[in-house]
Amino acid sequence: MKSAVITFPGSNCDRDMAVAIEKISGHAPARVWHGDTSLSENYDLIAVPGGFSYGDYLRSGAMAARSPIMQSVVKAAENGTAILGVCNGFQILTEALLLPGALMRNSGIDFVCREVPLIVENDNSQFTSAYEKGEEIIIPVAHHDGNYFASESELDQLEGEGRVAFRYVENVNGSARNIAGILSAKGNVLGMMPHPERHVEELQGGTDGARLFESLIKTLLETAG
């Protein structure tokens, strides 16, 4: 399995993401710089990590979405490559129009950094098949702009198509309908504010995030094989 992690100026979870992918898959992902104009290989998975790309100037993720490498990421997504965006990565994916809606300033105006319970809403995607629908899991969050917003029609469409992947048990940031993560229409793009890469081994305080990577890697290997 070939994977890549994109790094932008201000990324601070790119190494965490790379370590998590390598731990679960056994293969170290390529590290791709935002200024590269193309992807060197056809990757099975591209991860867009958390952090504060470009210092969150203008809007969180807005500048990163226009980095040279993102044209290739968008094209890869359109061709069916699995794309995982976490925290700032979720913000970047909405700004790149790979996912609907936007991430706004937390309703409480505070930076939220703690473990939070989530409900698994979709267990039928390549990212979530190792979970059970309705299961409660614990994943850390760390964000200031995680308040998910979309129009009512967009929200209804996400709900109707089963594209809400995760929902907060308690609303920690003001997100519409407690949404913590969503899938693209084709199901190959997942954006989520909580950090699954921070809960892949017991030393981190929990392993609920590991199953997201296990789901994805199992699906990708089965597809390739």
Amino acid identity at 219: T
Catalytic residue among 87, 95, 121, 143: 87
Q: Alpha helices of the chain — where are they, by DSSP H? A: 14-25, 68-78, 88-95, 152-160, 210-224
Tokens 């390739």 belong to residue: 224
From CA 161, how far away is CA 207, in angstroms rounded? 28
Comparing CA positions, the residue from 42, 66, 18, 56 lying closest to residue 143 is 56
User: Tokens in use for 16?
Assistant: 């965490």
Close Cβ partners of 191 (under 8 Å, ≥ 6 residues apart): 85, 86, 89, 90, 93, 94, 98, 99, 181, 182
- Residue 202 near residue 218 (C-beta atoms within 8 A): no
| Strand positions, DSSP E, the chain | 3-7, 30-33, 45-48, 82-86, 102-104, 112-120, 136-143, 147-149, 164-168, 179-183, 189-192
Active-site annotation holds for 87? yes
Active-site annotation holds for 197? yes
Counting every residue, how long is the chain?
225
Comparing CA positions, the residue from 153, 224, 199 lying closest to residue 24 is 199
Catalytic residue among 34, 95, 121, 197: 197
Active site residues: 87, 195, 197
